[in-house]
Amino acid sequence: MVTVDEMAAFCKRKGFVFPSAEIHENLAGFYDYGPLGIEMKRNIKNLWWRSVVQNKENVVGIDGAIISPESVWKASGHVESFVDIVGYCKKCKKKIKLDKHEIGIAKCPNCGILYENNGEFNPMFETTVGAVKEESKKVYLRPETAQMIFVNFKNILDTSRVKLPFGIAQIGKAFRNEISPRNFLFRMREFEQMELEFFVHPQKLNDCPNFDEVKNVKINVLTADQQENNDQETTQMTINDLFSNKLIRTKWHAYWIGLRYKWFLDIGINPDKLRLREHTKDELSHYSMETWDIEYNYPFGWKELEGIANRTDFDLKQHIKYSKKDLYYFDTETNEKIIPYVVAEPSVGVDRIFLTLLFDSYTEEEVNGEKRIVLKLHPLIAPYKVAVFPLVKKDGLDKKAKEVFDILKKEFNCFYDESGSIGRRYRRMDEIGTKSTVTIDYQTLEDDSVTLRDRDSMKQIRVDIKDLIITIRKFLNGKKLENLGKIIKKE
């Protein structure tokens, strides 16, 4: 696996991600996405939205404001309890964020000495709103998107006809003044989150009619008990095992963990690099009763990719208390006012998924004595779905290639390139993960057929232009090239 610095250099070289405002001064923890990065990031967000919102009859979305008044963050507990512990290395003078369970055991990787506990730090960015100093108000940039969901709970109840159980989802920026932003996109100060709050009747935490969808999903599991006994060996279990053995306490929570784990498998992440780790008691956030993290084995170790917490009725109760507004749900079956439970809050960083997918797909191979870099990304994640090339930029091949590009671009996000050797152009597509390349050659002018090349096997078939869209669609959906035509060539 490449190192994190090599990955950052690769991303800059290819136009995925750049350090932000680099021509002035690079502030650690801020990045800008380039032309390829923005396409890939958008694909990740669209796939998440489709899976969590549009494919569900009982989940709706919102897009809340980034800045909100202090009382929101007092109610949520962030002003008081959202604190990071500052670890300090006396020798190299570096500061890092320590997790509670790392106090007194974490060592500086450079100097090998124990980090000192340098106190607590609240990573929320604060600013003021209002032009006149005396009238200006203290506000915070949100450190998580979730609170905008809770403050809009009543608006959603009043306008969208949702009935328990239901979810509210959101994608948007979050900000944390991290003590030591590092590992490229892994720990940033400005990042994007995708969060869902799933509300359930407090007496129906196990009434989950959808459970069969996920019950057989296989997961590598590390429980809190194991960690307390210094056992780091994961055991493979199904979601059904996890719930029946009471490791995950509620069925709806188990359902969402299964669904989210499966989503990572569906977008092509290597199952051997994923595990589900339960938070130990002293690690739980102030709002959580039970949390499970989906972790990935990065070059810098196993780390959280997504957290799925049971937030109970903590947040709604707190907002009722601080805003003095009625945020109850009226249960028409029992004619009772209740406060629903957020039995599952899947919360994940878009940038973290982006980085994970790059590490997971980055491959170096040798072809005919030369090194080739391939991003073996799932076709739906890759920035471009199809590349269109004329074999050479003359004899009318370029004109014909543009015609084919015009047909395909209506259907897929396509890339067109006509200059340089064809071999180099293929390599460039391999490096950015484009699964299929269409080449217009001299035979195209005779019989209106083109070649279709597979990024991974480097094999090619011939396809009639009239069948091209349907063939590419099948190919991108997982059909093998050899099942779509006769192999004519391999590099």
CB 242 within 8 A of CB 221: yes
In the complex, the smallest distance separating the C-beta of residue 65 from ligand ATP, rounded to whole angstroms, is 19
How far apart are the C-alpha atoms of 101 and 458, rounded to whole Å?
48
In the complex, the smallest distance separating the C-beta of residue 417 from ligand ATP, rounded to whole angstroms, is 33
When asked if residue 260 is in the footprint of ligand ATP (CB under 6 A), the reply is no
When asked if residue 304 is in the footprint of ligand ATP (CB under 6 A), the reply is yes
When asked if residue 347 is in the footprint of ligand ATP (CB under 6 A), the reply is yes
How far apart are the C-alpha atoms of 123 and 144, rounded to whole Å?
11
- Closer residue to ligand ATP, CB minimum distance, 56 or 101: 101
How far apart are the C-alpha atoms of 295 and 219, rounded to whole Å?
11
- Closer residue to ligand ATP, CB minimum distance, 39 or 178: 178
In the complex, the smallest distance separating the C-beta of residue 286 from ligand ATP, rounded to whole angstroms, is 11
* Cα-based torsion angle of the residue sequence 133, 138, 141, 142 in order, rounded to the nearest 10 degrees: -160
Q: Which stretch in 50-58, 128-136, 304-312, 408-416 sits in contact with ligand ATP by CB under 6 A?
A: 304-312
- Closer residue to ligand ATP, CB minimum distance, 354 or 475: 354
- Size of residue set near ligand ATP by CB under 6 A: 16
Q: Reduce the DSSP state of residue 444 to 3 states and report it.
A: helix
Residue type, 70: E
How far apart are the C-alpha atoms of 29 and 186, rounded to whole Å?
9
- Closer residue to ligand ATP, CB minimum distance, 184 or 389: 184
When asked if residue 345 is in the footprint of ligand ATP (CB under 6 A), the reply is no
When asked if residue 307 is in the footprint of ligand ATP (CB under 6 A), the reply is yes
- What part of residues 95-154 is at the interface with ligand ATP (CB under 6 A)? 144
* DSSP state at residue 272: G
2: which residues sit within 8 A by CB, 6+ positions away? 10, 299, 359, 362
Measured in whole angstroms, the distance separating CA 353 from the mean position of its chain's CA atoms is 3
Picking from 235, 231, 204, the residue whose alpha carbon sits closest to that of residue 218 is: 235
In the complex, the smallest distance separating the C-beta of residue 147 from ligand ATP, rounded to whole angstroms, is 12
Q: List residues bridging with 218 in a β-sheet.
A: 238
- Closer residue to ligand ATP, CB minimum distance, 97 or 435: 97
Angle, CA of 250, 242 and 303, to the nearest 5°: 95
- Closer residue to ligand ATP, CB minimum distance, 291 or 471: 291
53 burial via Cβ count (<10 Å: 0-12, 13-18, 19+)? middle
For ligand ATP, the binding residue among 44, 348, 358, 404 (CB under 6 A) is 348
When asked if residue 278 is in the footprint of ligand ATP (CB under 6 A), the reply is no
- What part of residues 378-417 is at the interface with ligand ATP (CB under 6 A)? none
In the complex, the smallest distance separating the C-beta of residue 167 from ligand ATP, rounded to whole angstroms, is 17
- What part of residues 169-198 is at the interface with ligand ATP (CB under 6 A)? 176, 178, 187-188, 191, 193
- What part of residues 349-368 is at the interface with ligand ATP (CB under 6 A)? 349, 351-352
For ligand ATP, the binding residue among 306, 360, 417, 418 (CB under 6 A) is 306
- Closer residue to ligand ATP, CB minimum distance, 157 or 348: 348
- Closer residue to ligand ATP, CB minimum distance, 12 or 182: 182
- Can you point out the beta strands (E) in 319-458? 329-331, 336-338, 341-349, 362-367, 370-375, 386-390, 414-416, 436-440, 449-454
- Closer residue to ligand ATP, CB minimum distance, 258 or 349: 349
How far apart are the C-alpha atoms of 87 and 106, rounded to whole Å?
9
- Closer residue to ligand ATP, CB minimum distance, 98 or 440: 98
Cα radius of gyration (the chain): 25
Q: Which stretch in 239-247, 303-311, 375-383, 418-426 sits in contact with ligand ATP by CB under 6 A?
A: 303-311
Instruction: Identify the H or E element spanning 89.
Output: none
Task: List contacts with ligand ATP (CB under 6 A).
Answer: 144, 176, 178, 187-188, 191, 193, 304-307, 347-349, 351-352
